[in-house]
Amino acid sequence: MTSGETPRIGPHDFAGLDAGPVDTSQHDLAQWERVVDAIIYLLGKKGVMKDVAELRRHIEDLGPDVYERLSYYERWAASAAATCVEAGVVTREELDARAAEIAKRSEAS
Amino acid sequence: MSARFEVGQSVRIGDRTEPRHHRVPAYVKGREGIVVCLCHPQGLPEELAYRELGEPKQTIYRVRVSQPHLWSSYQGEAHDNLEIEIHESWLDPL
Amino acid sequence: MTHDHTTPHRHPNQPDHPEPSSSYELLGVALNELLIEKGIYSADELRTQIEEIESVNVDSHGAQIVAKAWLDEDFLTALRADAADAIRSLGIDPGYTEIMALENTPEVHNVVVCTLCSCYPRWLLGRPPAWYKSKAYRARVVREPRAVLAEFGNDIATDVQVRVHDSNAELRYVVIPLRPKGTEGWTQAQLARLVTRDSMIGVTQAKAATAS
């Protein structure tokens, strides 16, 4: 039997793909990444997210191009937002409006 | 909860296409292995990922698969192996 | 160290992701502000959560479990029977996910990966290193584990089985590396200093006794 007969189950299904050497250089988290990391835990604790499978699914639903382009916590940010929209605690419009406002704020500072 | 498989039993991991989110990567689908451990029952990701109940919970099996069986061009040793967690509904008896 | 909570930061590129896009950083920051404003959680709860996550470290958590397992046969037996209970008996929170200790032996070397995402025993080892989440590690360690281990300076003898554990779903794993030679009579604190994060993922061995 060879691998490759069975279709990958999504953009995240990396096992067996060709890839270069493992780069072990460390990456210190930026503050926004620490925040996104903690949001994931809080969404679970507060019952907004009922199961971590929701977050995984929203990451996979980014599609192969976006999945491969984004950094780890960018994926989690996108997925946490999608999870919250689906749970009905925020809307896309609110998120977009706030993101634009923050961009303006940080330009001004 | 009664478990369908026992430690030492030979099993095949399901080789079906599942359009919903699931946690059985392509490289183990359709492969044969041996149950090495029964773990706590868990809900089904195919449902939990969509805010559904995921019930009834299923026994999780750790299945050991031979590496040369997984990869035809395996460069390691013949006795190397891999273990992975599989929900009961993804396993068939051999 | 002070951080501005609202300003997106540039960060060094990760090898797999050459072009970070600030729009997703903005999205994360926007989401956090909205969730706090809507009362889903408070700013205090967020701060506490980050502190809780960062209070877990290899030296005070994972390494103590390994050192205790090396020293105390009864603890090792308990760890095999119910790892979470055994870990709790050391005053360490094992987390809410089922945990399993994988003992290296002279015959078997264990190494852990999550090929589908980044499942990792964060309650015992802290946040996973970037390489554990990388495409290269996830893609290759299942198909060519010996080559990947060799890149970590860990050449496994041909008569030793390499056993890869794909942490793909519901469990979290911690490898108990082989106890280094020449450590007879050492205390738990001395032994724990030889136990590294990477040795508990299984990509390396514990440090040699001379290194301490």
| pLDDT higher than 80, residue C2 | no
pLDDT score recorded for residue B86: 98
Which residues in chain B have their CB less than 8 angstroms from residue C158's CB?
Answer: 77
| Alpha helix ranges (H) inside C107-206 | 122-125, 130-133, 135-140, 145-151, 188-192, 197-201
B21 to chain A, minimum CA–CA distance in Å?
6
- CA distances (Å), origin C32, targets A84, C46, C186: 11, 9, 47
| Cβ contact A35–C50 (<8 Å) | yes
CB within 8 A of A86, min separation 6: which ones? A54, A58, B51
Q: Three-class SS string for C54-118?
A: HHCCCCCCHHHHHHHHHHCHHHHHHHHHCHHHHHHCCCCCCCCCEEEEEECCCCEEEEEECCCCC
Domains of chain C by start residue, with CATH: 22-55 (no CATH), 62-211 (3.90.330.10)
Q: Which tokens hold the place of B76?
A: 């390691």
Over range C48-56, report the average pLDDT.
97
Count how many domains chain B has.
1
Whether B21 and A7 lie within 8 Å, measured CB to CB: no
Predicted local distance difference test score (pLDDT) of residue A27? 81
Instruction: Name which of C166, C173, C175 to mutate to probe chain B: the one with the most chain B Cβ atoms within 10 A of its Cβ.
Output: C166
Residue C11: predicted pLDDT: 44
Q: Which residues of B touch C166 (CB under 8 A)?
A: 25, 28, 82-85
Beta carbons of A51 and B50 less than 8 Å apart: no
Question: Exposure string (b/e) for C123-143, b if CB count within 10 Å is 16 or more?
Answer: bbbbbbbbbbbbbbbbbbbbb
Q: Which of C132, A5, A8, C110 is nearest to B70 (CA)?
A: A5
Average pLDDT over residues A100-107: 86
- Which of C151, C159, C168, C175 should one mutate to test binding to chain B, selecting the residue with the greatest count of B CBs within 10 A? C168
Q: pLDDT tier at B2 (50, 70, 90 boundaries)?
A: confident
pLDDT per residue as tens digits for the range C138-175: 999 999 999 999 999 999 999 999 999 999 989 999 99
Sketch the domain layout of chain A as residue ranges. 31-108
The verdict on residue B32 lying in a domain is yes
Please report how the helices C22-37 and A31-45 are oriented relative to each other, as an axis angle in degrees rounded to 10: 40
Report the mean per-residue pLDDT for chain C. 91
Element (H, E) at B61: strand B58-66
Could you say which of 2.30.40.10, 3.40.50.2300, 1.10.472.20, 2.30.30.60 is the CATH number of the domain covering A31-108?
Answer: 1.10.472.20
Mean pLDDT of A25-35: 92
Enter the tokens of residue C211: 């290194």
- Asked if omega into B56 is within 30° of 0 (cis), the reply is yes
Of the partner residues C144, C161, C170, the one whose CB lies closest to the CB of residue B42: C170
Q: Which residue of C has its CA nearest to B87?
A: C169
What CATH number is associated with residue B75?
2.30.30.50
Q: Number of residue pairs across A and C with CB atoms under 8 Å?
A: 188
pLDDT above 70: residue C21: no
Is B5 inside a domain boundary?
no
Distance CA B39, CA B59 (A): 6
Please give the Cα distance from C203 to C150 (Å, whole number). 9
Please indicate if any CB of chain A lies within 8 Å of the CB of C43.
no
| Residue B4 falls inside a structural domain | no
Q: What is the pLDDT of residue B1?
A: 65
CB contact under 8 A, A81 and C117: no
Q: What is the ipTM of this complex?
A: 0.97
Question: Any chain A CB within 8 A of the CB of B31?
Answer: yes
C42: annotated active-site residue: no
Active site residue C118: yes
* pLDDT of C53 strictly over 90: yes
Closest-CA residue in chain B for C150? Answer: B76
For residue range A44-63, list pLDDT tens digits in order: 999 999 999 999 999 999 99
Q: Domain span at residue B46? A: 10-93
